[in-house]
Structure 1
């Protein structure tokens, strides 16, 4: 299995401009990166003062690149309306010629991402919203008629077109079983909080009962590294993607550009 290399970039402060993000994506593609993934936050504590909208940034990336895979990493589905998200995801997939990946997760309320706006703060409730929202979202993305009345979402006799393929990656912290279970039913797992490459053995073993993780069925296992972290020990350990993290704090545009230009 060939491990692909991508960027995991926070569109914060010096990067809180969709035009700048588009420029960086074009630079990344020219430098040989395979993917370009963007954090999705509404706020991020006192050390971050400016944040760009991830969907506007994704459109800029789609327009400025030709080959790279890209997408939000990750969007908290429980604060979104699945029907709106389905339209956005399908539109970006069409715009990019099929290069869009939708990263989804539970979200975290540590700086009031949910509670400050009256959204659901209880992670257990958000977990149930995520499971039901995934059912609605994937049904709408299929292009088939959808009729759903649930605890959190209602869709009555609706069919969405166009219906391009949209891979879905689920995110979760290492050691938590529920995110792994969710991810096994979709296209990939972005696992957060690994201490070392040996932890990947536990991740792949956890999927063994559900599906192979050797890339033979197109399932992706995704991890992120710090900008100066040596990727070599992580290669050929079961991850199909290694992402280099850029952010969240003290971002300097010149330094970011230098990191990207250096290539994977």
Structure 2
């Protein structure tokens, strides 16, 4: 593992894109390799939580940084028209000098915005929308004239300019399970999420072991023939209080083949967020 990412909320105090830009700069100065945003229409930390538009916030973060990768972990594909998402992402990629990563999934099952705004709630339909969106994104980013006709979307002979410098597509989804990892193997990376007994993603009880990492990579290799150039992103939770134990765990999943460790910063006051973003990653 060579890369360490810091995952920030898009709501509460972090609804202010100026604070997010400052946190991204602090993280870059502290030695992080990437800074990523959770993507919610209404952040779920509390009822009626203030929330930032992640693409406006990421643009501010791009202007405040020079080297870190920037992206979403993850965007619900069923909430976006794929060509509009492609335009936002390609513009951000130009602005950042090719530093954008797009994380996509079927959507957090606990995201109440799908119900509150009349979105698609059926997970099978969400998955179908996501698969078509991914095919369209790949086609639009390819630099050639592109057409597509699917169950949900249609694109008729479009040349999408400017062509992004580079936008890896990371697929988020549940583990264990076949669908998400199979989808991820067709693209550039996998962010596996496993629920704990408390029905939460972001605690230590839900983290992946080195054995999980090895099994995931074995499935990816079987599906695509090689794991060369494929990212496996693990973590997605807050830092353990025991930093020595944390380093040992990070070292174990890295040895098993994970390419990114993702640390989540829970919502806090602006000063708490500044202090946390200024801490260096716990490299083994």
Q: Is TM more than 0.5 here? A: yes
Question: Matched residues in 1 for 2:263 and 2:276: separation?
Answer: 10
Task: Give the equivalent residue in structure 1 for 2:231.
Answer: 220
* CA deviation string 1:219-242 (max 9, x = no partner): 110012433321432322211000
RMSD, aligned α-carbons:
1.6
Partner-residue secondary structure (3-state), 2:100: coil
Q: Which deviates the most, 137-146 or 193-202?
A: 193-202
> Is the contact made by 1:109 and 1:115 (CA closer than 8 Å) also made in structure 2?
no
Task: Give the equivalent residue in structure 2 for 1:169.
Answer: 170
Task: Give the equivalent residue in structure 1 for 2:248.
Answer: 232
* CA deviation string 1:82-116 (max 9, x = no partner): 11111111111111111111111100343422122
Task: Give the equivalent residue in structure 2 for 1:6.
Answer: 5
Distance 1:111 1:66, change over 3 A: closer
* CA deviation string 1:162-216 (max 9, x = no partner): 1122111001111121110111111111111234333212211221212433xxx
2:261 to 234, 238, 242: 242
TM-score by length of 2: 0.86
Question: Matched residues in 2 for 1:45 and 1:97: separation?
Answer: 32
2:276 to 253, 259, 262: 259
Q: Which deviates the most, 30-39 or 128-137?
A: 128-137
Gaps of 5+ in 2: 195-206, 241-245
Question: Matched residues in 1 for 2:151 and 2:45: separation?
Answer: 35
Distance 1:38 1:45, change over 3 A: closer
Structure 1's consecutive aligned runs of 4 or more residues displaced over 6 angstroms after TM superposition are none
Gaps of 5+ in 1: none
Shift of 1:39: 0.4
Partner-residue secondary structure (3-state), 2:274: helix
Task: Give the equivalent residue in structure 2 for 1:207.
Answer: 220
* CA deviation string 1:29-84 (max 9, x = no partner): 01101000000001244725211110011101111110001111111111100111
> Is the contact made by 1:32 and 1:263 (CA closer than 8 Å) also made in structure 2?
yes
> Is the contact made by 1:102 and 1:167 (CA closer than 8 Å) also made in structure 2?
yes
More helix by share: 2
Question: Matched residues in 1 for 2:84 and 2:44: separation?
Answer: 27
Q: Which deviates the most, 162-171 or 228-237?
A: 228-237
> Is the contact made by 1:6 and 1:34 (CA closer than 8 Å) also made in structure 2?
yes
Distance 1:240 1:57, change over 3 A: same
Partner-residue secondary structure (3-state), 1:175: coil
Question: Matched residues in 2 for 1:109 and 1:220: separation?
Answer: 24
Q: Which deviates the most, 48-57 or 22-31?
A: 48-57
Q: Which deviates the most, 52-61 or 229-238?
A: 229-238
Aligned length: 258
Question: Matched residues in 1 for 2:13 and 2:188: separation?
Answer: 32
